[in-house]
A and B are shown apart, each in its own frame.
Chain A
Amino acid sequence: MGDAAKNIDSTSNTALYINAAVVIRKNEVIRNGNLVFSSQQESLPAFLGDLHHFTGAKYQRFYKMDALSKLGWLAAELLLDDHYKSMEYDPAKQGIILSNANSSLDTDIRYQESMAAIPSPAIFVYTLPNIVIGEIAIRHGIKGENAFFIFEKFNAQFIEQYVSVLLNNNILHACVCGWVDVLAKQYDAAFFLVEKIGREGSKPFNAGILNKIYQ
């Protein structure tokens, strides 16, 4: 956490809201409880390609990303809707807090395999889990606090505590948080948009609700 985290007062809790949620797994995308996309593709790259097409983004940089960044980028793309953009938050007050179980291992393995010939610089740059945060930040102009944590499994309690500190202490006004994990054919993403101001359909931001949406 940077200088902005000084003088944290974790007792000044105010109401925080989950204003949007996106879960991507088993070839399906659930947004705010509704199935918005499904695909019959058998491979993860093909599924992610279809989902990118579905978003209509036509983002050239997408094709250069590793699977972890593609998955996180797509989850954020579906999470941050026009309503969020209309809030026009200060870029420095928007943050990203993500987590997973396998770090960047999927890409680390690919990079190790590329070393048999000439190591690929394009793969190497994705051999850190927090690169996905950078890709999302570039896309959405987010410049506030960010961090990537590794847990054995989805840790709703940690997300609640960490993100609450950031918002309750005015370090952030809005935060993209959640889980994005890829290893070989296995993938799982659950992103939440947490803000101080609720809107129609908002849910309270707490570990119980996070777990309920994640399940």
Chain B
Amino acid sequence: MEKLMSDLKEQIIAQLNLQDMKPEDIGDDQPLFIEGLGLDSIDALELIVLLQQQYKIKISNADEGPKVFRSVRTMAEYITAHQTTNV
């Protein structure tokens, strides 16, 4: 899980063009949207693309989005759960 969260932080920075930000600047449980990293709705779409490109995971139920993308940890937990069930 720690390795996955570390990878995710690097991928989020690259995918969202978060210049001047380093992986260590993103807390495992820090909210990604609004009061946390301050990401917006377009960033949310880019995170969905990231999951598809890097982990071959599609979020089919839009209601899951807020829970999945709450933090790096919730993203990692979702990836772990779905990669296990998909294999």
Residue ranges of A at the interface with B (Cβ–Cβ < 8 Å): 58, 60, 63-64, 117-118, 120-122, 125
Question: Complex Cα distance A103/B43, Å?
Answer: 25
Give chain B residues whose Cβ lies under 8 Å from the Cβ of A121: 42, 45-46, 49
Nearest to A62 among chain B residues (CB) is B19
Residue ranges of B at the interface with A (Cβ–Cβ < 8 Å): 16-20, 38, 42-43, 45-46, 49, 52-53
Give chain A residues whose Cβ lies under 8 Å from the Cβ of B42: 64, 121-122, 125
Can you report 25 A-B residue pairs in the complex whose CB atoms are below 8 A from each other?
A: A58-B20, A60-B18, A60-B20, A60-B38, A63-B18, A63-B19, A64-B16, A64-B17, A64-B42, A117-B53, A118-B49, A118-B52, A118-B53, A120-B46, A121-B42, A121-B45, A121-B46, A121-B49, A122-B16, A122-B17, A122-B42, A122-B43, A122-B45, A122-B46, A125-B42
A60: contacting residue among B19, B46, B53, CB under 8 A: B19
Instruction: Give the shortest distance, in Å, between B47 (CB) and chain A (any CB).
Output: 10
Give chain B residues whose Cβ lies under 8 Å from the Cβ of A118: 49, 52-53
Give chain B residues whose Cβ lies under 8 Å from the Cβ of A60: 18-20, 38
Question: Complex Cα distance A121/B47, Å?
Answer: 10
Shortest Cβ-Cβ A-B pairs, 5 listed: A121-B45, A63-B19, A63-B17, A118-B49, A122-B46
Give chain B residues whose Cβ lies under 8 Å from the Cβ of A120: 46, 49
Question: Complex Cα distance A122/B39, Å?
Answer: 12
Give chain A residues whose Cβ lies under 8 Å from the Cβ of B43: 122
Question: Complex Cα distance A121/B18, Å?
Answer: 16
Question: Complex Cα distance A120/B19, Å?
Answer: 18
Question: Complex Cα distance A118/B56, Å?
Answer: 11
Give chain B residues whose Cβ lies under 8 Å from the Cβ of A122: 16-17, 42-43, 45-46
Nearest to A125 among chain B residues (CB) is B42
Question: Complex Cα distance A60/B43, Å?
Answer: 13
Question: Complex Cα distance A118/B55, Å?
Answer: 13
Question: Complex Cα distance A121/B17, Å?
Answer: 13
Instruction: Give the shortest distance, in Å, between B54 (CB) and chain A (any CB).
Output: 11
Question: Complex Cα distance A64/B16, Å?
Answer: 7
Instruction: Give the shortest distance, in Å, between B18 (CB) and chain A (any CB).
Output: 7
Question: Complex Cα distance A213/B73, Å?
Answer: 55
Q: A118-B49, A121-B45 are in contact. List 16 more A-B contacts (CB 8 A).
A: A58-B20, A60-B18, A60-B19, A63-B19, A64-B16, A64-B17, A117-B53, A118-B52, A118-B53, A120-B49, A121-B42, A121-B46, A122-B16, A122-B17, A122-B43, A122-B46
